[in-house]
Structure 1
Amino acid sequence: MSYRTPVSSSPGPLALIIGTIFPALVILIELLTGLCANAFFDPMPTLAHVLLVASVPLINFFLWRAAQREEAPKAALIILGGAAMSIAAGYALVFLPILPIALVAIIFFGFGLLPFAPLGSLIVAIRLTNRLTDWIEHSGRRIAAGVMIGIAALVAVDVPATATYLAVGWWHGDPTSQQRAATTMRLIGDRDILFRLGSGDTGRAPGILSFIASGWQSGGFGAPQDSSTAARELYYRVTGTPFNAVDPSIVRAAARRNGMFDWDADQGGTSVGGRIDDLALTGSRIDGSISSADSLAYLEWTGTVSNRGDQQREARLTLALPEGAVASRATLWINGEPREASIGGRAETRAAYTAVVQRSRDPLLVTTDGAGRLLVQAFPIGPNASMQFRIGLSAPLIIARDGSRSISLPAIVERNFNIAADQPHNVWVEGDSPIATTAALRPSILEGKAGVTGTISDADYARARPQLHITPITSPSLRSGTIPAAGKQPAIIVTQRIERVAATSPGALAIVVDGSVGNKSAADALATTLDTLPRGLPVSLRIAAERPATVPLAPWSSAQRDLVQKALSDNGFAGGQDNIPAVSDAIAETSAANAKLLWIHGPQPVKFDRSSARLDQMLERSTALPRLVRYQATAGAAITEEGQPWFETARFVSPTADPARDLRGLLEDIAQSGTIWRVTRTAEAAGTAPSGSIHIARLWAASEATQALNGKEAPRKAAILLARQANVVTPISGAVVLEADANYKENGLAIPDPEAVPTIPEPHEWALLAIIAAFLAWLWRRHRPFGSTFTQALA
């Protein structure tokens, strides 16, 4: 039964403004700008949160309209009023800790009203609902029912966020706790919120339940300790996807972050870190020259990264090199002019880079990132500006058993900037003999020389890393390269010998397979290539998974092959797995002389500290370690130990689009006996071999410098001097470009000599001149009758 008690007056426009218009505007502003999401926490990380919050001003509007009409409302409206009260109260409590900050902002800066919207909505909802109870019987019960519904809705939409914050906290615990964290995230966690926590979010929870959970774990109102690192590790464990392989713009919980408060926590560090949405690759070209006579190439990758944001940014990337390659040039364009890098000790070049970054000047830093990879850092890229830099590489041709030769082009495998799928990579590679390729390139005659050219989109480049094929080698080769004298250091003559030698099978082969979802295609390919292994070779298998699988070391046979294939087919390949325990176990089991460890893995962006202690101990104390060979079919980060020779001297095989073909050739190469083409480089007092490219000597110098990793201070200093003389980046040396000569002197670095760096055309000009001379001679012979007639006419 409805009834009516006279009311003093209808609600005025102020109630409509405070309860409906103001909170609606606040929601719209937050959705468009992410002000609160950037400065404090994200109150609406999911669509469910948006709908829940938006329901409050909508309900207040219906309450206000009913009160204006002074008519008996429907009973359901009273229930909705109760729900609006509990929802607004929940958000008012969440915003309570920052209300004092907002009040100060209003007084001193003129803004800060936004956090007061839930409180205003709550007051209006209470007053309007109370006014309408005059028309509804048993209105108290209906209000209580609405409050309970609102609380249930608050809890329901906040369960995934609560589970996420609890999981991040559990990740800091023991292995059982970490497994509970991963399971919770997979079942009910919110991966977008987890990604945002990894992006450097403050960690404040969006709702009452998650706010209480995160506050309880952190002992206050802050985020769980080190939530960014834990969130990145947990994200990889749950999804199997490297954190920085995800475009933030497609993750709703991270997309509303804008540049005003978006601090790059990885700036100036030693890792690529998370993506910066304002940065993008806008130019890429690969130039090169191949010498079949020297069986090597010189390649240059030139990239341009642009910043569309309103603050300075640092570009960071990992560049995967051709197998066996070494960086021998680094160039940064400053004020439109190219400036070359100075080579110095790894620590010295990083210290110089860090010091200049702090002053927001123009540095470029290039260091190794494990075998076959470079970490490149460039800063600052100004607002609405670009930065261009170049990396030069000295690279040997890979010679197969049958004499065929090939080289893979360098590729960006990890970066903190975006690359559009259709972003072109422009390729121009010349040679002194025909070059073939399976990629979207075409053989051409380039400026009178054989070569390949073309444009490849980034999507195609990432899917099928281009590989060039050069005419096979058919006979032994002897060449030499010379590093010029520098100061008190005399010139160094290096002789390169390529000869046919007998190879023996390794004493044992341990195979470690990453059980992560990103490695499934490579694992499937391995299962089809096992017949390549020779009978009798001791072989073991370990699969790094949540339920690890092991096939103990035993002579290769049909039975052993069946066990390996069954283990591979039974594994689920889920999430991202910690490979270090399996690698450690494989080292412990493989003690035979000349043993090899083949590690087939996907992206490995996380070093799990809990499992690293045993591996570190084994690498430091073991006297007989198997040779490490790595194969990674999918682009991404690769775990390494800086300064650890076992990782730094590993063979890192360049993948193609066909893992089965890659692994078949790799297993044949590392496991079978027979004859192979062996390349050796040695320094000699006087060279008698035909003169070749300086890159022969650079490849030797890089290898020699790396050998000093375990040496004392004197050998390391000598190795740094050698790397500087040869102009190569090694595990003990780095390359840095600074803005002015005075910056080099301040940091104790040599001022770079632009004349001492390699350039295109390379590897050596005389071979190219010979090609041109032969071409001109051919033209002269072809047109000689015409030439004779013309000469006679002049006479």
Structure 2
Amino acid sequence: MSRQSIPLKIIRKRFNDKIYCTGLIFLTVALIAFLIPELFPIDDEDEMIWFFLNHAITVGYFLTLWFSGRLRRGREGLHPFFLFLLMFLISAYALNRFIPIFEVSAPWFAVTIILCSVNYFAFAFIRIAPVPVRMVMFFLLGLSICCFLYMAIYILPFTGIGMLASFFFGISLHTLVPLLFFLYTIRLFRRSNARRKPYKLAFWSGIGITVLIVLVYTMLWGINVVQINRDYSRLSVRRGRDPYLPAWLQVAAHITPNPVTEKVLKAELVYTTFNGWDRLFFNFGSSLNWNEARKHDPLVMIASTVCGTTAMTGEERIHILKSLYDSRYEAEERLWSGDDLQTTHVQTSAHIWPRLRMAYTEKTVSVKNNSIVRRRGQWRNSQEAIYIFHLPEGAVVSSLSLWINDKEEKGILTTKAKADSAYKTIVGTERRDPSVVHWQEGNTVTVRVFPVMDNEERQFKLGITAPLSLEHGALIYRNIYFDGPSAGSTGEDVDISFETPPADLERSGIFSKGKDGQLTASGPYSADWQVSFKDEGLDHQIFSASNKTFTVAPYRKELAAADISDVYLDINSAWSKQEYNTVLALIRQKRIWVYVNEMMEQVTDQNKSDLFEQAAGRRFSLFPFFEVSQPVNAIVITKGVANSPSVDDLENTRFMDTLKGWLSGGQDVMLYNLGGELSPYMRTLKECRTFRYDQGDIAALKELLDAHRFPASIENDQRIVIESAGMTITETPGTEVSTAPDHLQRLFAYNHIMHAMGPRLLTGGEESDSLVAEAAASYVVTPLSSLVVLEKYEDYERFNIKDGNNSLKNASLKGKGAVPEPHEWALIVIGILLIVYLKFRPVSFKRVADI
């Protein structure tokens, strides 16, 4: 017999085996029955039916093997028996939907189980596989034995119960599946040319490498846990005094973010851990506010069992995750779950005024609830959609719409307290249709939509008035991105129009140019795209309303005298040693200070290196402005780190209480940013107009210091500065013909309110009626005001939410032009009456003549 005919003979033999072919058919049907509830919306009753179908198929094939005698020794029943085991495994995972012994598997483990299952099927044809393929198959067999041994040990506490309760249709026998796979994998290895040395080597390599990975991961886990616990314990009792900052924050400053550290912090919040027998049986939920699906990761389970978890509380770990891993969305306070929500589509429409350095953007977002009604007559699954939009500096939300019964309902601007009260009351008890958008620190806003019903889609629209970014002679429009329900398969359509043709237009590759210079794009959602063009300067344009006129002008720094005697260096991991030494050489004639270990240390030739090593070892810094002894004669030099704590994370700490006391004293200090994005902490303080600010490189800093000058704060009640756009907006009394859009007033109002509130944004205090009225007149979302959409007119009356008549209302792409002034309205009305008079006057005279 030729060697070429052997593979065909083996294949023909397998497929002539009726029992084996029956097993293949049963396995295919079982797999389809398992996937249907995953791919199609069905209720719990129907899903239970699909499980029993899986179970019946498994039992049926086992009985077929039993009565056919293929389970007896010497009857070549091993490979058909593995088909039965694969059916049994599928049935076990179907049962796990109702009795969740395992949480959802980590992606890597799910893929591993699938590979191992395919490998068991392939072993029936191993004799026709090339030697390298056989090596891989034996390697996977070694990996499989480790995986199922782990699962057998994990499920061991349930195995005894499963044996005792097996009389109930054998359902509880599913607990034996991992053990059966473990035992019969050993038998499969012995029966499959195991005596040949290469295959033994591959098999034991699979086991060895798996064990090595587990050991290395466990070691890394242990190092992280020991380091975190040591720092946490040391900082909790340091010097026996009340520290400015809590221990978790000091720990966060010294953590090196990596995947293992992240899972250490998420242990028990997200990842299942072994923490006593009660945890093993009932570890299926958490009372902490963390919006991420729970997972089962064998590496985390083993490592946490061997090395334990951190001593920090869940709330403290959430603070660190928010600070270091940009996870603020997951920690957002929720009234209802949003686990099954998915962002399905984003429509971005923008209009840009190049000669005003501003844009208006509308984001229309569709969100779907992928869950379904599980039982007939059951309460429908209502979920709450939450989005955090990241706005450019100085930008403001100026419109909100929610679609109710397929009709767009526009938001009404009211105080933040009223909007919050209405939303929480309706969402918490009445389960009807509200939406609200609130201002948040750090140039962000939060949009909430409720309810998103099971298997239904909701749509809302957010309008943002924003300045463009002026960088090196170019104006840049960046996409306004969001954190929210999964956007992995979200589609996006973009269209951008220009008031005047832009010069030297550069755009991301996703765009194509349409008629009238309009840019369009269609495809998967992308958070990171931009459009840039040459800055051709500002036009002298005017918007006029309510006897006020708003104009734009270029921002030119006005330098004021600066007698600097003390320089404070805000050192963190963003600084290089070279930058540090260069700055020291530049300011060597002044007193230089660095903040380390909650103490302000003066820099000397003897300690400068040690101070830098200590300070630069921190991932981020929170400069204590209250430690500046003479603010008028002091300058703080900083570099920012994007992922670091925000002011909100510091609430109820001694540091924040002391800082608020310092801010309430109206202190003024100079801050120079050496480059990069400001940290969230510094960005919030900048929003509060806490300091005189400038940024640039070391050479520009040298010029300022040599000239004993520093930019003065030129903002007042009539003029605001939008530094990122290089422009000012001025308000003057009077009325003129409007040539600019109403967004000019909206930008002025928002930034003027931020300037007027200043440190009161943090320290609190009475709300100014005039600022509330300014926000209402300009229809902008601020720390004092929010936009809300309610389902019924009666709801607005119940919460005393009224829409003012003398306001700009919701912004709109269709209303890009100026709003007529009262006298202009009068002229328009007179003109219309004159046209009517001239049209009908001859008819009137004719009727008189006939009489």
Question: Shorter-normalised TM-score: what interval?
Answer: 0.5 to 0.7
Residue 210 of structure 1 is matched in structure 2 by 301
What is the letter of the counterpart of residue 398 of structure 2?
S
Residue 560 of structure 2 is matched in structure 1 by 504
CA distance in 1, matches of 2:113, 2:644: 38
CA distance in 1, matches of 2:650, 2:113: 42
1:94 corresponds, among 126, 133, 154, to 154
Residue 600 of structure 1 is matched in structure 2 by 640
Q: 1:281 to 1:339 in 2, by over 3 A?
A: same
Residue 302 of structure 1 is matched in structure 2 by 363
- SS of the aligned residue for 1:411 comes to coil
- The range that moved more, 299-308 or 418-427, is 418-427
| Contact 1:341-1:737 within 8 A present in 2 as well | yes
Q: CA deviation at 1:454?
A: 0.9
- The range that moved more, 692-701 or 179-188, is 179-188
CA distance in 1, matches of 2:639, 2:362: 28
| Contact 1:628-1:646 within 8 A present in 2 as well | no
2:775 corresponds, among 707, 719, 723, to 723
What is the letter of the counterpart of residue 334 of structure 2?
G
Q: CA deviation at 1:10?
A: 3.5
Q: 1:420 to 1:586 in 2, by over 3 A?
A: farther
2:757 pairs with 1:687: no
2:343 pairs with 1:279: yes
- SS of the aligned residue for 2:506 comes to coil
Q: 1:383 to 1:125 in 2, by over 3 A?
A: same
What is the letter of the counterpart of residue 350 of structure 2?
I
| Contact 1:506-1:596 within 8 A present in 2 as well | no
Q: CA deviation at 1:44?
A: 6.7
| Contact 2:391-2:443 within 8 A present in 1 as well | yes
1:427 corresponds, among 492, 496, 501, to 496
- After superposition, residues 658-677 of structure 1 pair within 5 angstroms as none
Q: CA deviation at 1:453?
A: 2.8
- The range that moved more, 391-400 or 372-381, is 391-400
What is the letter of the counterpart of residue 620 of structure 2?
N
CA distance in 2, matches of 1:112, 1:606: 50
| Contact 2:105-2:295 within 8 A present in 1 as well | no
Residue 619 of structure 1 is matched in structure 2 by 659
Cα deviation code 1:47-78 (max 9, x no counterpart): 6993799499959999xx9xxxxxxxxxxxxx
1:345 corresponds, among 405, 415, 423, to 415
2:621 pairs with 1:580: yes
CA distance in 2, matches of 1:154, 1:360: 50
Q: 1:314 to 1:297 in 2, by over 3 A?
A: same
1:20 corresponds, among 82, 86, 95, to 82
| Contact 1:87-1:150 within 8 A present in 2 as well | no
Q: 1:335 to 1:704 in 2, by over 3 A?
A: same
CA distance in 1, matches of 2:514, 2:122: 75
- After superposition, residues 731-742 of structure 1 pair within 5 angstroms as 731-742=783-794
- SS of the aligned residue for 1:743 comes to helix
Equivalent pairs, count: 658
TM-score calculated relative to the size of structure 2: 0.56
Structure 2 alignment gaps of length 5 or more = 1-70, 128-139, 195-202, 234-250, 272-289, 373-381, 720-729, 825-851
Question: Higher RCO, 1 or 2 (CA under 8 Å, sep at least 6)?
Answer: 1
1:335 corresponds, among 402, 405, 415, to 405
CA distance in 1, matches of 2:627, 2:142: 65
CA distance in 1, matches of 2:338, 2:712: 43
- SS of the aligned residue for 1:393 comes to strand
| Contact 1:288-1:299 within 8 A present in 2 as well | yes
CA distance in 2, matches of 1:670, 1:325: 32
CA distance in 1, matches of 2:731, 2:117: 84
CA distance in 1, matches of 2:512, 2:116: 61
- After superposition, residues 306-455 of structure 1 pair within 5 angstroms as 306-307=367-368, 309-310=370-371, 314-358=384-428, 360-382=431-453, 385-395=456-466, 408-409=477-478, 411-412=480-481, 414-418=483-487, 423-430=492-499, 435-436=502-503, 438-440=505-507, 453-455=518-520
CA distance in 2, matches of 1:166, 1:113: 36
Q: CA deviation at 1:94?
A: 0.7
Q: CA deviation at 1:354?
A: 3.7
- The range that moved more, 390-399 or 174-183, is 174-183
2:317 pairs with 1:230: yes
Q: 1:681 to 1:373 in 2, by over 3 A?
A: same
RMSD value, Cα: 6.9
- SS of the aligned residue for 2:398 comes to strand
1:757 corresponds, among 788, 810, 813, to 810
Residue 268 of structure 1 is matched in structure 2 by 334
CA distance in 2, matches of 1:584, 1:149: 55
- SS of the aligned residue for 1:504 comes to strand
What is the letter of the counterpart of residue 50 of structure 1?
T
Q: 1:103 to 1:579 in 2, by over 3 A?
A: farther
Cα deviation code 1:9-46 (max 9, x no counterpart): 93599996997345434556789999599873356764
Q: CA deviation at 1:730?
A: 1.0
Cα deviation code 1:270-301 (max 9, x no counterpart): 9xx999884344422223557x5xx5746132
Q: CA deviation at 1:710?
A: 6.0
Q: 1:231 to 1:17 in 2, by over 3 A?
A: farther
CA distance in 1, matches of 2:704, 2:397: 26
- The range that moved more, 600-609 or 338-347, is 600-609
CA distance in 1, matches of 2:431, 2:692: 35
Q: 1:445 to 1:99 in 2, by over 3 A?
A: closer
CA distance in 2, matches of 1:397, 1:60: 60
Residue 3 of structure 1 is matched in structure 2 by none
1:466 corresponds, among 508, 522, 531, to 531
What is the letter of the counterpart of residue 730 of structure 1?
T
CA distance in 2, matches of 1:82, 1:435: 63
CA distance in 1, matches of 2:700, 2:176: 67
CA distance in 1, matches of 2:693, 2:345: 26
Residue 200 of structure 1 is matched in structure 2 by 292
CA distance in 2, matches of 1:502, 1:50: 64
2:112 pairs with 1:50: yes
CA distance in 1, matches of 2:353, 2:673: 27
- SS of the aligned residue for 1:439 comes to strand
Q: CA deviation at 1:764?
A: 0.9
| Contact 2:571-2:616 within 8 A present in 1 as well | no
2:112 pairs with 1:41: no
| Contact 1:41-1:201 within 8 A present in 2 as well | no
What is the letter of the counterpart of residue 734 of structure 2?
T
| Contact 2:568-2:634 within 8 A present in 1 as well | no
CA distance in 2, matches of 1:603, 1:356: 35
Structure 1 alignment gaps of length 5 or more = 1-8, 66-79, 137-146, 246-263, 483-491, 771-795
CA distance in 1, matches of 2:803, 2:401: 13
TM-score calculated relative to the size of structure 1: 0.60
- SS of the aligned residue for 2:496 comes to strand
- The range that moved more, 170-179 or 695-704, is 170-179
Q: 1:507 to 1:726 in 2, by over 3 A?
A: farther
| Contact 1:309-1:383 within 8 A present in 2 as well | yes
Q: CA deviation at 1:413?
A: 5.5
CA distance in 2, matches of 1:652, 1:307: 46
